[in-house]
Amino acid sequence: MAYKTVRGQSSASITVEKSEFIAKIAPAATPEAAADFIESVRAEHRRARHNCYAYSLREGFETRFSDDGEPQGTAGPPILDVIKKSGLCDVCIVVTRYFGGILLGKGGLTRAYSSAASKAVAEAQIMLMHEARTLTLSLDYTFYDRVLRLLPEYEIKTADQDFSDVITLKLLCKAELCEDFKKKIADLSNAQVKISESEIYFADFS
């Protein structure tokens, strides 16, 4: 099953009634990774009144959030709602607030935290992750062009190539397309191309 996450850290900020809301988003595949990111943001903004966060993990469908001193439900839940509506997982968003002296009320806070988190998501580079295998092909030079012409049909990415006595190709293939692709290779080469494959893992095909 495919899922969306982010490639690296991104940030964005908004100002509402003199309060600055700084949102940072980062990939986080485990609770420990999320905790490390949250602590790094807190360390960066020690003078801020609030560092509110939410994260969503693919493993176990785990979610967690914190209002960090804001009125209950005005910070963490809106941030988590942004993550869910964006279809992202294995991500953590922290929104830091520097208080500007004007109270925003519950509705104003909810909108501000949601807007800041949404802006951070908009700045992020999204990755679409699919179940994949690395296929390693050993082939004679006579089959090289025919194999290359087949790759776009199966949305395959070339990870590495080595040209010596034989050509060795390392290819990234979506798991659900691997068997059909291997059959095609066997047909076009009369089974003369040797293929080995890795275990299934998740890879970016965006």
pLDDT in tens, 19-73: 999 999 999 999 999 999 999 999 999 999 899 999 999 988 999 999 999 999 9
pLDDT digits (tens, 9 = 90+) for 20-31: 999 999 999 999
φ, ψ of residue 201 to 5 degrees: the values are -145, 175
- pLDDT, tens digit (0-9, with 9 covering 90-100), for 117-171: 999 999 999 999 999 999 999 999 999 999 999 999 999 999 999 999 999 999 9
CA 53 – CA 49 distance, rounded (Å): 13
Is 206 within the bounds of a domain? no
Q: Which of 124, 142, 159 is the last residue of a domain?
A: 124
Single-letter residue type at 95: V
Distance CA 130, CA 146 (A): 26
Residue at a domain's end among 124, 156, 172: 124
Residues 63 and 43 in one domain: yes
Q: How far is CA 156 from the centre of its chain?
A: 20
Which domain-ending residue is among 92, 124, 156? 124
* Sign, Cα dihedral of 189, 194, 198, 199: positive
φ and ψ of 160, to 5 deg: -165, 155
Its domain, for residue 37, covers 3-124
Same domain, 100 and 187: no
| Same domain flag for 118 and 147 | no
Tell me: do 135 and 120 sit in the same domain.
Answer: no
pTM of the predicted model as reported, rounded to 2 decimal places: 0.84
Do 104 and 140 fall within a single domain? no
CATH classification of the domain holding 139: 3.30.70.240
Structural domain contains residue 149: yes
Same domain, 105 and 48: yes
102: domain CATH number? 3.30.230.30
Q: Is residue 33 part of a domain?
A: yes
